[in-house]
Amino acid sequence: MSGDNLTVVVEFILLGFSDLPKLQGFLFGVFLSIYLCILIGNGLLIIITKTDPGLQTPMYFFLRNFSFLEICYTSVTIPRMLADLWTQKGTISFIACAVQTCFLYILGAAECLLLTVMAYDRYVAICKPLYYPLIMNHKVCVQLIVVSWLIGIPILIEETYQIFSLNFCGSKKLNHIFCDAPPLIELACGETYEIEISIHVAALIFAITPFLLILISYVKIITTIVRLPSTSGRSKAFSTCSSHLMVVGLFFGSGSIVYLQPKSSHSAGSVKVFALFYTTVTPMLNPLIYSLRNKDVIAALRKLLPKLIRS
């Protein structure tokens, strides 16, 4: 990254919410509260689904892993955001920016794949109930989790390497709340067409394809539910699926607006809002969505909370 008109970039400046200087303290309090809610809410889901005997099923095994993933995913961006709001500096080294981007993509891909696995679990449970214990045995569940976590690592490390191998010139200011490909590409000089195509291919593999598989699963699930003779059976089936559908809609909906929206229609403010939605708001709502709409989780929570208070 050197030449007559190029300089070696050693750091970037995340603008974040610098356009709201009077609200820095307020925003710090808001995001600290959100982060604590994410840690406590998802932490409780992990404890409940691990310790309660009635929740030792594949569905809650996947939910436990999903909650842990949400904690990891938000920990990539929110602590850094809180530090920037506290210090009001926003500088991030080149290496730290690359590491943040890499982990954001690896964990984001894992989340997309894990949501797909959870949809497949519901498909087998509702469409093939007699074969469910055989198909979704513990070994298969563990293999699905391992694949979801690890399959994207080599591809997304290479993707991150390509992004940070670009030549950066001029301004070092990233008009975003964390390091991400779209604002980084805007700072690059020279041709970026190939890397943009590469990013869209990665999005096709790790976001669009999982979303389509989830969609196909739920078309088959809804078709099966509608045919159920019992009203209570239909209600219970819809109840177990609706929570997952809400999380899928929030995560994929906000993410697609950021990554698939044409450049010409990009607005820095709207991109920040939707980026906050899939990296912060959805992980915060996840425990509420799964607990408030699930009688088993509520019952387990009622048994656990008195023990936690006494201890």
Reply yes or no on whether the pLDDT at 4 is more than 60: no
Structural element, H or E, at residue 188? strand 188-189
Any residues with CB less than 8 A from the CB of 187 and at least 6 apart, and which?
12, 168, 169, 170, 171, 172, 173, 174
State the pLDDT at residue 121.
Answer: 94
Q: Which domains does the chain have, with CATH numbers?
A: 11-310 (1.20.1070.10)
| CA gap 124, 163 in Å, rounded | 39
State the pLDDT at residue 285.
Answer: 86
- Which pLDDT tens digit goes with each residue over 169-198? 767 888 889 998 888 888 888 788 888 888
Any residues with CB less than 8 A from the CB of 88 and at least 6 apart, and which?
18, 21, 24
Q: What predicted TM-score, i.e. pTM, was given to this entire model?
A: 0.88
Q: What percent of the chain has pLDDT over 70?
A: 90
Reply yes or no on whether the pLDDT at 3 is more than 50: no
CB atoms within 10 A of CB 311: 5
- Copy the structure tokens of residue 197: 């195509």
